[in-house]
Structure 1
Amino acid sequence: MIVLHATIAIAAVVGLIIILKIDPVISLVVGSLYLGLASGLGLESTITAIIDGFGSIMAEVGLLIGFGVLIGALLYSMGALQRLVVLLIRALGPRRLPYAMAAALTTVFPSIYVDVQLVLAAPLARSAAPELGRNGLGLLAGALTAGILVGYVFVVPGLGTVSIAGLLDIPLATMLGYGLVIGTLTVLITVLLYSVLVRFGFWNPDKDEHASEALLEEEALAADMTDADEESGRRLPPLFLALLPVIVPLVMIAFGAIADAAGFSTSLIAFIGNPVFALFVGLLGAYVLAKVSLDRDRTDEAMTKGFNTMGQILLITGVGGSLGEVISSTDLQDVLGDLFSAEAGAPIIVSILLAWLIAAVLHLAIGSISVAAITASGIIGPVLGQLGAPVVIIGLAIGAGALFALQVNSNFFWMFQTLLGVTTRGALKALTFVTALASVVALPLIAGLSLVI
């Protein structure tokens, strides 16, 4: 019954938001209350889970979101992102931009925590969207999804990838080599297929895009400030210098991750590579640059608009974490594990599908890619020797399954919706559908790889 109640809760949240137009915060709390009470947690435990879920998500990503949003607001105020978009469009052309963005996020930035990638990449996607036409935001939102999350499950040192490799005893070098091939092919094919669908009407800007008032005011303010600076002849910082508040944190985080993976990390390196500290350094840099290049009033105004934007994002993200915590408090995970059993001597293709299915169902139910990947690895690990398939193939299949259909029971979903300025319906297309598409696209690639190794 717990599987049925979880399905009803998730469907109810989606229905309340899309059909009845209920605010996402209210809808998520209603879904959390229903699941907790229907699953037998009781009144007190349900409320406790909702509160704990909100608090744990805020502890995990609250400062990351806050610092990232403020960096974005200040970069907008200096025209840095707008100038970067112009440069990219001139160098690549509008048609290549989604592929370049997705491939870079998958292959270069998986060491960066996915929430940080989203916070830093979303303003760039919003800035570039008008250059790609009416459906530009939908196209870049899908490319951003594929780029961030495919790298997370296939490319070392993505957290999902490293977790799978560690639990299944797959050498990181092996996982890196095969994962990089599968990840790159998956992300490029996914963006191609999604682009075709968007071109044929899959994306509807009138119904799929709806930025919050705070986000729209922030961008309008940045545009006005940039125009005013150009008219007054005030000199804005060079583009490379203006982008350092983003580049420096990425380098710091990547260095910390590489040092940890290579075994030469120290407490100082861990401190420098901590995402919260790295983004704070970026925020300090952006604030100083804005103070120097803009007047004090405009810098303060940009910060104020950033704070306004941050509030809505934090609330929706936190309540999304509440639903995930209620699900985790039930015995759903154990029930799902008992539903599957591996058969000795199964053909390789059956083993691949089984590994994919276990991880996919776990992700749909739990709402966390990493938890789904870790749990699926724990279920399959004890019978791995009986499956008759290379361990790395099973690991890649688990990663593909854990990617499947990220949706409303994930806090990432609500961050994505608010940061990209899309509706819940738009997020279901550009995030839920794209992760499902990438998950399915990866399956034949993994099956094909199994034939040659």
Structure 2
Amino acid sequence: MPVLLSLAITIVLIIFLIIKLKTNPAVALFIGSLFMGISSKLGLVTTVSTITTGFGNTMAALGFSVGFGVMLGELVAATGAVQSIANNIVKFFSKDKSEYALGLTGFIVSIPVFYDVGYVVLMPLARALSKKGNKIIPYFAGALVAGLGIAHTFIPPTPGPLTGASLLGVDVGAMILWGIVIGFPTFILAMFVYDKFFLSRKNFWDPTKDEEYDEAHAAEQRKLESELIKDEKELPGFFLSLLPVFVPIILIILGTVSSVTMGAENVPEIIKFVSDKHVAMFFGLLSAILLALSRNMKLGEIEKVLNTSLSSIGTVLFITGSGASLGAVLGAVKVGDALLEVVGAINIHPILFVWLIAALLKLAQGSGTVAMITTVSMVAPMAAQLDVAPVFLALAAFSGTLATAHVNDSAFWITSKMAGLTVTGGFKVYTLVCALQAVISLILIFAASFIF
């Protein structure tokens, strides 16, 4: 069977398994990898060995860093550090710009903390700011979508960006820097466009159609808020709260900058050691544990939080490894050469090509992480032959997953339900803000690729 036909059937098969048969994404990716290898005449035994090698190599490259990152994020949320960061940032902004303060908080905390956790923790503050500033809720729900979403999508150590960097051979420090360089302006511009050209329109937001009130849900929300909202005296200090977020980032970037300025062969061994992504994430986790201890959390409570995070770690690593297995099979059957011919034949820029693939995969099956990993797996075999730096191909894949966020995305429902939005309201907040960020980031990626 021709390689591209096998690829098309593989993608359809994976989507069918996830959407229609409710198969776990990792299992669906494994089945897709088997089909891709066998249908492309890679051979039964070689297909299996390629799959396991791809999985094993990725676990070696990412296992500890992803695991430590998830643990770190859970502890940061449990200590009240997210609330401390939010409260302190809001103080620096005027009341009429408080949504930007909330979005900036989301941007910072979503680097180690998953989107859903950050949104749940920050939504009570969003509602309070909405009432205090006499602004409708989409100003603040949209700010959280923008800040949390762009950092989670673009900046390691979240699993998608970390895996994308690994599969394309991009230095993690460089991925962090470029994620910030593209992601932060995207966040600011998207909020500006959303505020000025959508929320400011007279008939854009209709509370009777876009918001819903359910007494049972409201009672549940009040209970959750009472558990989450702590007296400011109980919260850790601002800079102490930032420590677990920035320790690993600074260490990883230190290694990247040292390599560029000194030459890779001249970097001192101690810098190579502390800037290794696994070691850096471990130091980040240690700083989160110290933060927890400083808040008088008992060792048993810390252990409970870390153990709870293990279920998330297992799911994330299984999906990540399975996606990498597919990438290994695609590389073995020379998908890159076939895709290069397609890019040349239809005369499309590689960045736009990657962006569209990611957008279509996200549209079809809902998971941004699966869409990122699958897209990067497809592109990695041909990356070396393209006249585009791999980091921009990775960013294009990340950006594309934002373009088509809708009801098959679990984050759509978390965003809508926590903010008290109808499905229509969810489209006007989550789907629209994500789409704005996808388009804006694509433009910035193109601009950066032409300059650098």
TM-score range, shorter chain: 0.5 to 0.7
Partner of 1:6: 7
Sequence identity, in percent? 25
Question: Structure 1 residues 340 and 254 mapped into 2: Cα distance closer, same or farther (>3 Å)?
Answer: closer
What one-letter code is carried by the residue in structure 1 that aligns with 2:439? L
DSSP 3-state at the match of 2:386: helix
Q: Answer whether contact 2:68 2:285 (CA < 8 A) is retained.
A: yes
DSSP 3-state at the match of 1:20: coil
What one-letter code is carried by the residue in structure 1 that aligns with 2:385? G
1:322 to 315, 320, 325: 325
Partner of 2:160: none
Q: How does 1:368-407 map to 2 (within 5 A)?
A: 369=376, 372=379, 375-376=382-383, 378-380=385-387, 405-406=400-401
Count the aligned residue pairs.
373
The alignment status of 1:246 with 2:241, answered yes or no, reads: no
Q: Answer whether contact 1:77 1:225 (CA < 8 A) is retained.
A: no
1:273 to 258, 262, 275: 275
Question: Structure 1 residues 88 and 268 mapped into 2: Cα distance closer, same or farther (>3 Å)?
Answer: same
What one-letter code is carried by the residue in structure 1 that aligns with 2:88? L
What one-letter code is carried by the residue in structure 2 that aligns with 1:38? S
Q: Answer whether contact 1:69 1:310 (CA < 8 A) is retained.
A: yes
Question: Structure 1 residues 78 and 320 mapped into 2: Cα distance closer, same or farther (>3 Å)?
Answer: same
- Spell out, residue by residue over 1:204-253, the C-alpha distance to the aligned partner (whole angstroms, 9 max, x if none): 999xxxxxxxxxxxxx8x996986xx7xx996643322432222222222
Q: How does 1:404-415 map to 2 (within 5 A)?
A: 405-406=400-401
Q: Answer whether contact 1:6 1:35 (CA < 8 A) is retained.
A: yes
1:291 to 290, 293, 303: 293
Deviation at 1:60, TM superposition (A): 1.6
Partner of 1:96: 100
Question: Structure 1 residues 262 and 305 mapped into 2: Cα distance closer, same or farther (>3 Å)?
Answer: same
- Spell out, residue by residue over 1:259-307, the C-alpha distance to the aligned partner (whole angstroms, 9 max, x if none): 1121263222111212211121122232234335222322222222223
Structure 2: distance between partners of 1:147 and 1:225 = 23
Q: Answer whether contact 2:244 2:287 (CA < 8 A) is retained.
A: yes
DSSP 3-state at the match of 1:379: coil
Partner of 1:83: 84
Q: Answer whether contact 2:13 2:32 (CA < 8 A) is retained.
A: yes
The alignment status of 1:128 with 2:129, answered yes or no, reads: no
Q: Compare 2-11 and 364-373 and name the one that shifted more.
A: 364-373
What one-letter code is carried by the residue in structure 1 that aligns with 2:55? F
- Spell out, residue by residue over 1:361-407, the C-alpha distance to the aligned partner (whole angstroms, 9 max, x if none): 787898465994894563348xxxxxxxxxxxx99986875656349
Q: Answer whether contact 2:245 2:284 (CA < 8 A) is retained.
A: yes
Question: Structure 1 residues 373 and 313 mapped into 2: Cα distance closer, same or farther (>3 Å)?
Answer: closer
Deviation at 1:63, TM superposition (A): 0.7
Q: Answer whether contact 1:94 1:131 (CA < 8 A) is retained.
A: no
Structure 2: distance between partners of 1:358 and 1:51 = 29
Partner of 1:306: 309
Across the aligned residues of Structure 1 and Structure 2, the Cα RMSD in angstroms comes to 5.2
What one-letter code is carried by the residue in structure 2 that aligns with 1:274? D
Question: Structure 1 residues 243 and 9 mapped into 2: Cα distance closer, same or farther (>3 Å)?
Answer: same
Deviation at 1:97, TM superposition (A): 4.4
Q: Answer whether contact 1:53 1:325 (CA < 8 A) is retained.
A: yes
- Spell out, residue by residue over 1:83-137, the C-alpha distance to the aligned partner (whole angstroms, 9 max, x if none): 22233345445521475368x77xxxxxxxxxx9744564545532454468777
Q: Answer whether contact 2:30 2:326 (CA < 8 A) is retained.
A: yes
Partner of 1:391: none
Give the alignment's TM-score, normalised by structure 1: 0.62
- Spell out, residue by residue over 1:303-354, the C-alpha distance to the aligned partner (whole angstroms, 9 max, x if none): 22223332222222222222222222221101122345599xxxxxx8xx53
Deviation at 1:76, TM superposition (A): 2.6
What one-letter code is carried by the residue in structure 2 that aligns with 1:328? G
Structure 2: distance between partners of 1:200 and 1:322 = 45
Structure 2: distance between partners of 1:432 and 1:48 = 39
Question: Structure 1 residues 165 and 378 mapped into 2: Cα distance closer, same or farther (>3 Å)?
Answer: farther
Structure 2: distance between partners of 1:73 and 1:396 = 28
Q: Answer whether contact 2:85 2:105 (CA < 8 A) is retained.
A: no
Q: Answer whether contact 1:150 1:187 (CA < 8 A) is retained.
A: no
Deviation at 1:429, TM superposition (A): 6.2
Unpaired runs of 5+ in structure 2?
Answer: 128-136, 157-163, 213-223, 362-370, 403-408, 417-425
DSSP 3-state at the match of 1:322: helix
DSSP 3-state at the match of 1:21: coil
Structure 2: distance between partners of 1:65 and 1:205 = 37
Structure 2: distance between partners of 1:244 and 1:86 = 16
Unpaired runs of 5+ in structure 1?
Answer: 106-115, 153-158, 167-171, 207-219, 344-349, 382-393, 408-415
Q: How does 1:225-264 map to 2 (within 5 A)?
A: 237-263=236-262
What one-letter code is carried by the residue in structure 1 that aligns with 2:340? G
Q: How does 1:41-440 map to 2 (within 5 A)?
A: 41-92=42-93, 95-97=99-101, 100=104, 118-120=111-113, 122=115, 123-132=117-126, 140-141=144-145, 143-147=147-151, 186-190=186-190, 237-263=236-262, 265-292=267-294, 293-341=296-344, 354-357=349-352, 360=355, 367=374, 369=376, 372=379, 375-376=382-383, 378-380=385-387, 405-406=400-401, 437-438=439-440, 440=442
Structure 1: distance between partners of 2:105 and 2:186 = 14
Q: Answer whether contact 1:190 1:438 (CA < 8 A) is retained.
A: yes
Question: Structure 1 residues 375 and 41 mapped into 2: Cα distance closer, same or farther (>3 Å)?
Answer: closer
DSSP 3-state at the match of 1:41: coil
Question: Structure 1 residues 340 and 22 mapped into 2: Cα distance closer, same or farther (>3 Å)?
Answer: closer
What one-letter code is carried by the residue in structure 1 that aligns with 2:302? T
Question: Structure 1 residues 205 and 254 mapped into 2: Cα distance closer, same or farther (>3 Å)?
Answer: farther
Structure 2: distance between partners of 1:431 and 1:27 = 30
What one-letter code is carried by the residue in structure 2 that aligns with 1:12? L
Question: Structure 1 residues 242 and 441 mapped into 2: Cα distance closer, same or farther (>3 Å)?
Answer: closer
Q: Answer whether contact 2:79 2:292 (CA < 8 A) is retained.
A: yes
Question: Structure 1 residues 225 and 433 mapped into 2: Cα distance closer, same or farther (>3 Å)?
Answer: closer
Q: Answer whether contact 2:85 2:241 (CA < 8 A) is retained.
A: no
